[in-house]
Structure 1
Amino acid sequence: MKTLLHPARAVALAFLVTILAGTLLLKLPLAHAEGSAAPWITAFFTAVSAVCVTGLVVVDTGSYWSWFGQGVILVLFQVGGFGMMTGATLLGLMVNRSLRLRTRLITQVETHSLGLGDISSVARLVFVVTIASELLIAALLTLRFHLAYALDWHEAAWSGLFHAVSAFNNAGFSIHADSLVRYASDAFVLLPVMTAIVVGGIGFPVLHDLRTRLRDPRHWSLHTKLTLCGTGILLAGGFVIVLAFEWDNPKTLGAMPVATRLLSAAFASVSARTAGFNSIDIGALTHESWALHYFLMFVGGGSAGTAGGVKVGTVAILLMLVVAEIRGHNDTEGFGRRVSSSAQRQAITVLVLGSGMVVLGTLFILRGTDFPTDQVIFEVISAFGTVGLSTGITADLPASGQLVLTALMYAGRVGTITLAASLALGERRMPYRYPEEHPIVG
C-alpha cells in the first residue's frame, strides 16, 4: 500500500532538496569568481541563506561569486521566496486545470490559504504579483543606476534585477559589499526597494483579500486587518525609535543631513523586520537600537509571504489574548470578530518554539565563541527571522556556529509549526478526555 507523505513533511523536504541542489551548484568551480571550488561550508551556508531568503553571508556576494554563482543565488532566493509547493501548484495548473486533493493539501500548508477553494487563485496571485513587482522595481533601479551612477546598461540591468528580486523576496542579498549604504541619500533607490520589501512581506493572503475586497474594508478578513494594522504600527514605531536613538550617533545618522536621516531611519525600520538590507552600518548602532532590532526581527512580517519571524498576526493574536484575560473576557476578540481557540493555541506554540530556538541557538554559539552576547543574540534572531542583518561576526564564526545559523534559517523559513509537524512521528485522535483541572498560573 502506497504511503502518502504528510503535507508538512513534503514542504520541509522540498526546501531541503532545493538547498542541497543549490549547494552542489555553488560548489562548482564555475560559480567561484576565481574558478576554483568553494569550500563546502561556504556553498552550503550561502545556499541555505538564499533558499531561506535570509541574506546572511560568510563571503562577499559580488566579489566572491562569479556571474554564474550570482545567478544561482538569485534563482535560489526567487524559488525560496516564491515557495516550493506554490510553484508546483502553478505547474500543475498549466498542465491540468484541476488539482488533486493531495496537491491542494500540501499547497495549503505552505501558502496558509484559508480554504482549499482559494488555493488556485492565491497561487496565480503569487505569480502575477511577484513577476510584475520584480520587473517594475528592476526597471526603476536599472534606470537609476545607469543615469545617476554611470553604470553601463548591462551592469545596471543586472544590479537592478538582482536587488529587485532580492528585495521583493525579502532576501537581503546584495552584490555590493556595503549592501545599500552607498545609496543612503538616494530616495530613488531606497524607496522602490522599501516598496518591494513591504509588498512581498505583507503576505499573499492579505494581497488576495485586498484584490477581491479592496473597496469594502469592512469585509476584510480578521487576518488582513491584524496584519495591516500591526505592520503600520511596527513601521511607524521602528522609524521613530531609530531616529530617537541614532539621531546624534556620528557613526550612523548623526553625520547625515536631516532628509537623509529620515530616509535612512525609515529604511532601517522597513528592512529590520525581515529584508536584511542596510543603508547604515548595523555594527555601529547603539545598543538600544540593537534591542529594537531584536524585537522587529523576531516579529517579522505577514504570514504566507516572503517575510520571516513569528509573524505580525501571531503577535497580534497574543496581545488580544492578553487583553481579554486582563479584562476577564472568555473570548479573544478584535475588529468585531472572535479568534478561534485553535488559532490562539497555534500562536502560543509559534512563540514558544521560536523563543526556544533563539535561546538554544544563542547558547550553542556562545559556548564555542568569545563574541559579546548581544552580538550573538543579534545574529541568532536575524537567522531565525530570516532577516539577514548582521553586526559583522557571521563570517568569523566557527563552522559549528555557522551550522547553527543554517538550522535556524531553515526553521525560520519552513515555519516552526510546519517543521515540528514534519518531525512528529505521527498523529492520532484520542478516544477519551482526561478530567479537567485548573493549575495555578502566575
Structure 2
Amino acid sequence: MGKLIVKPGMINEGEGGKVRLLWFIDRVLMLLAFPAVFSLVAEYGFYLSPSQSLFIQSLDFSILWIFALGGLLRLLLISDRVSYLRSHWPDILIMLLILTFLIFPAQITAVMHSFLPGLLPGAIAKIYIVITQILLLLALVPPALRYSQRIMTFNLQPALLIIMSFLIFIVLGTLLLLMPKASVSGSMPLIDALFMSTSAICVTGLVVVDTATELTVFGQAVIMVLMQLGGLGIMTMTTFFAYMLGSGSGLKQYATLQSLLGEESLGRIRSTVIHVIVFAFVVEAVAAVILYYDFSTYGFSSVPEQLFFALFHSVSAFCNGGFSLWSDNLMAAEIQHSVTALVTIMFLIVIGGLGFPVITNIFMLLNYRVRSRFGLVKGEPVEAEQVDTLRLFPQKKSRKLKIRLSLHSKLVLITTSLLLSFGALGIALLEWNGALGALPVADRVFSALFHSVSARTAGFNTLDIGSFSVPSLFFLVLLMWVGASPGSTGGGIKTSTLAVAVLNISAIVSGRNRIDIFRKQVAPVTVVKAFSTVILSVFYIAFALFILLITEQFPFEELLFEVVSAVGTVGLSTGITSGLSQTGKLVIIVSMFIGRIGMLSVLGAVIRQRSFGRYAYTRENVMI
C-alpha cells in the first residue's frame, strides 16, 4: 500500500513495539510489489499454459489477501486514525474494495447475474480474473506515486528530471513491446521496439512496424498509454494523480513542471496541472464518443473493438501522436472521406497543439466575462498578473481579478491562425492538379486544410505523402519545423519562437533595439532563447541529415523530410521509415527524443550550470 508516514500524534509515545511492527508491515507490502508486477507482466505479456495461469491466479489472490490484511493491521495499530485516514484515504478505499471482493464472492456473483442474467460460469470466471488484476494494479498505484516523489528530492536540474522520466518510460515501453503478446509474430527486433516506444512517448507517429496488423491489442494499448504519458507530460500526470491521492508536491517538482508546461508562475503550477489533466481527459472522452458513433458504419466486429478504435484515435489526435489503427493511416477507405471524424481529429490536433497555458488563459478569460456579465464578480479591478500578490495578501481577496489574454497567448493564437491559413493555401496551390487532382473541389480545399493542420506535429494523412511534389514536401518541411506551441503536446521550434524571431528581425530592420507589441515589451532573455532555439534546431537537422546521407540510399528530399518530421515530432513520412538501416533508425530515435524535450533543455541538462560573479566587463561591439 505505500510507505508509512508517521506524523506527530499518529502513534503515542512509548509505543516503540508498534513502530517496529508497522515498519515490518510496510516492508512486507513494499516487497509484495515485485510479485504483483511479475504477475501482471506474465498474464498480459506472455502466453501461459493452463497450469501456469492457475498459478498466477492463485498468486494474485494471495497478494490481495496480504495487501488487505496488512493494510487493515496497519490501520488498527495507528493511534490517531483520523489523521491517518485523511492522509492515506486512497489506500483505505482500495483496501476496502479488496476485502469486499475477497470476502463476498457469492454476493458479487449474484449482482453480476442480476445485471447480466445471461452470463455463463466461464464468463463470470473471466470477469473475476479481470477484477482481480484491476485491484492488484490499484494497490500498486499509491505507493508508486509516493515513491516517485523521492526522486524530486535529489539535487538534479528540472531539465534532467524531465529527460530521465522520458528515458525511463521509453525503456519500459520497449520492454513491454518486446513481450510475446505485444506483437502478432510473438517477437520484435530490439531496434524496432525501441523505435516504436520512442515514437509513442515522444508523440511522433513514425513507425517501422504496422501498428494495425503487426501489433496485438496489448501492443496497441501500450502505444496508446505511452502517447498519453508523453503528450501530457509524465511529470504532469504523476503530479496530478499524486495530488488526487493526497501526496504533496515540493518546490523542486513545481520547478520541473514549470519547465515542462511553460508556466511562468510557480504559484499557478498546481492549478494549471489540474486544469490540464481534467481538460485533456474530458476533451478526449467527448471526442471518443463522437468518433465511436461515427465509426458505427465502418463494419467493426464488436463494440469493444469499435470503442477501442475511437479512444485510440482520440488520444492520438489530442496528443498529436499521429498513430492510427489503420494500415494506411487516415487514407483508409472507411475514414478518408468522413467529414465528422476528420473535423473531430483536426479540432483535437489544434487544441492539443495550442499549449496548456494558452488554453488555461482562454478559459480564465471566458469564465471572467461570463461572471462579470451576470454581476458575480465584485470588488476593485486587479490585473491577472497580480494573482500571486492576491495569494500573499489575503486582505485583497475581495478585489475583482481582471483577466486578459497574455502576450504569449496572443502571439500563439495569431501565429497558429496564420500558419494554418497559409499552410492550407500553399498546399492547395502546389498540389491542386497533383495529389489533390483526383478530388472534387470541396474535397481539395478540405484536404489541404487537413494536411496544413496535421503537418503542425500531428502526422495524420489522408493522402499519400510520397505522391507530393518536391516543392510541396519542402513546404511541409517548413510547417513541421515550426510545429506546435510551448507547453503543448507537440514539438518543433514552437509558434511563439517563430513569432519572437520575426518580430525581432522587424525591430532590427526598423532601427529599434527592442520588441514592443500589444503595449508590452518582450523580455531580452526571450529573444535570446528564441534565436538560440532556431539556430540549434537548424544545426541539429543539418547534422542528422548529414549522417543519413552517409548511411542511407534514399533521395535527399525524402531524408530531409524524415529528419524534420522526427525533430518536429510530426510523424509524416514519404514511406522510407521502415526501410532505414539500424544506424538510420537510431538517428531518427535520437531526433524524436531531442525534438520532444527541446535542444536547449537537453544541453541545459548535460552542461554544468555556472553562476556569474558580481562584476561586468566593458562592452565592445562585434561587426555583424
Q: TM-score, normalised by structure 2?
A: 0.68
Residues 214-270 of structure 1: CA deviation (Å, up to 9, x unaligned): 366982111000000000000000111111111111xx2100111211211111000
Tell me, yes or no, if structure 1 residue 241 matches structure 2 residue 426: yes
> 1-side partners of 2:609 and 2:443: how far apart?
54
Alignment of 1:14-413 (within 5 A): 14-34=165-185, 36-96=186-246, 98-147=248-297, 149=299, 152-182=302-332, 183-214=335-366, 219-249=404-434, 252-413=435-596
The one-letter amino acid of 1:43's match is A
**CA distance, structure 2, for counterparts of residue 149 and residue 263 of structure 1:** 25
AA matched with 1:121: S
| Preserved contact between residue 364 and residue 403 of structure 2 (Cα < 8 Å) | no
Deviation (angstroms), 1:153: 2.1
Give, in whole Å, the separation in 2 of the partners of 1:322 and 1:128: 39
Please state whether the residue corresponding to 2:317 is helix, strand or coil: helix
What is the identity, as a one-letter code, of the residue corresponding to 1:239?
A
Work out whether residues 184 and 260 of structure 1, in 8 Å CA contact, stay in contact via their aligned partners in 2: no
Cα shift readout 1:277-319 (whole Å, capped 9, x = no counterpart): 0001100011111111111000001110101100000000001
RMSD of the alignment, in Å? 1.5
- Tell me the amino acid that sits aligned with residue 12 of structure 1: I
Letter in structure 2 aligned against 1:14: S
Distance in 2 between residues matched to 1:151 and 1:304, nearest whole Å? 39
The aligned amino acid for 2:165 is: A
Higher relative contact order (CA 8 A, sep 6+): 1
Q: 1-side partners of 2:197 and 2:410: how far apart?
A: 35
Kept in 1: contact 2:477–2:561 (CA 8 A): yes
- Tell me, what secondary structure is at the counterpart of 2:554? coil
Partner Cα separation in structure 1 for residue 614 and residue 175 of structure 2? 48
- Post-superposition offset of 1:106: 1.1
| Distance in 2 between residues matched to 1:400 and 1:428, nearest whole Å | 39
Q: CA deviation at 1:410?
A: 0.3
Measured after TM superposition, the shift of residue 189 of structure 1 is: 1.2
Q: Is the 8 A contact 1:185 1:263 kept in 2?
A: no
> How far 1:91 moved relative to its partner?
2.5
How much has 1:152 moved relative to structure 2? Answer: 3.6
Please, which of 585, 596, 600 is the counterpart of residue 417 of structure 1? Answer: 600
2:65 matched to which residue of 1?
Answer: none
For the residues of structure 2 that align with 1:102 and 1:218, how far apart are their CA atoms?
A: 28
Deviation at 1:99, TM superposition (A): 2.8
- Tell whether the 8 Å contact from 1:243 to 1:265 is kept in structure 2 after alignment: yes
Q: Is the 8 A contact 1:61 1:175 kept in 2?
A: yes
Structure-2 separation of matches of 1:75 and 1:358? 29
CA contact under 8 A between 1:170 and 1:275: conserved in structure 2? yes
Inter-partner Cα distance in structure 1 for 2:495 and 2:230: 20
CA distance in 1, matches of 2:336, 2:540: 34
Larger radius of gyration: 2
Alpha-carbon distance between aligned partners in 1 of 2:409 and 2:462, rounded to the nearest angstrom: 30
The residue number in structure 1 matching 2:73 is none
> Amino acid of the residue matched to residue 74 of structure 1?
M
Question: For the residues of structure 1 that align with 2:430 and 2:442, how far apart are their CA atoms?
Answer: 17
TM-score normalised by the chain length of structure 1? 0.96
In structure 2, distance between residues paired with 1:50 and 1:148: 26
Distance 1:3 1:82, change over 3 A: closer
Post-superposition Cα deviations, 1:41-97, rounded to whole Å, max 9, x if no partner, equal: 010000000000000001110111111000001000110001011112212322447
* 8 Å contact kept, 2:483–2:495: yes
Query: Partners in 2 of 1:295 and 1:336 — Cα distance?
Result: 30
Partner Cα distance (2:248, 2:406) in 1? 26
Preserved contact between residue 205 and residue 570 of structure 2 (Cα < 8 Å):
yes
Q: Contact between 2:184 and 2:216, CA under 8 Å: does it hold in 1?
A: yes
Q: Alignment identity in percent?
A: 37
Give, in whole Å, the separation in 1 of the partners of 2:248 and 2:218: 37
* Count of aligned pairs: 437
